[in-house]
């Protein structure tokens, strides 16, 4: 599966800001009883850290992305199920990644570092 523009931006900033840390698995799939879940990025061997990038949070109209009720509910279900499986999942919006990537990727980097110890 091809990365979205926002996923490409995350990958770019991750490599730029944290080249010493492992690259995440992209579009990581996790099977749990009765479901198959996918995270945009994951470090399954570094403390079960996951990232979801939420594009379209400010979009209007038909293509509202993750702000539509059904999509938001699906994401909430995924987050709850991943947490039950012991995952820490970080959500990033376009604005967070564009305006302050150092802050938000730094938070994720801390978790990946601690998880790999």
Pick left, alpha or beta for residue 61 (phi over 0 → left; psi -120 to 50 → alpha; otherwise beta).
left
Q: pLDDT per residue over 3-61, tens digit each? A: 889 999 999 999 999 999 999 999 999 998 888 999 999 999 999 999 999 876 655 54
For 5-115, CATH gives: 3.40.960.10
Q: pLDDT per residue over 47-65, tens digit each? A: 999 999 987 665 554 454 5
Q: What one-character-per-residue DSSP string does 29-87 give? A: EEEETTEEEEEEEEETTTTSEEEEEETTTT--SS--GGGSHHHHHHHHHHHHHHHHTT-
Q: pLDDT per residue over 54-108, tens digit each? A: 876 655 544 545 556 788 888 889 999 999 999 999 999 999 999 999 999 999 9
Per-residue burial over 73-92, b if 16 or more Cβ lie within 10 Å, else e, is eeeeebbebbeeeebbbbbb
Global pTM reads 0.86
Position 72 scores a pLDDT of 82
């Amino acid at each position: 599966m091809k990365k979205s523009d926002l996923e490409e931006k995350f990958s770019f900033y991750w490599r730029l800001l944290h080249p010493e840390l492992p690259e995440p698995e992209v579009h990581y799939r996790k099977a749990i009883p009765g479901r198959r879940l996918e995270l945009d990025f994951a470090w399954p061997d570094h403390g079960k850290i996951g990232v979801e990038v939420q594009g379209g949070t400010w979009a209007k109209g038909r293509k509202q992305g993750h702000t539509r009720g059904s999509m938001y509910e699906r994401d909430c279900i995924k987050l709850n199920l991943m947490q039950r499986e012991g995952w820490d999942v970080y959500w990033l919006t376009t604005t967070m990644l564009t305006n302050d990537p150092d802050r938000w990727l730094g938070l994720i980097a801390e978790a990946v570092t601690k998880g790999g110890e």
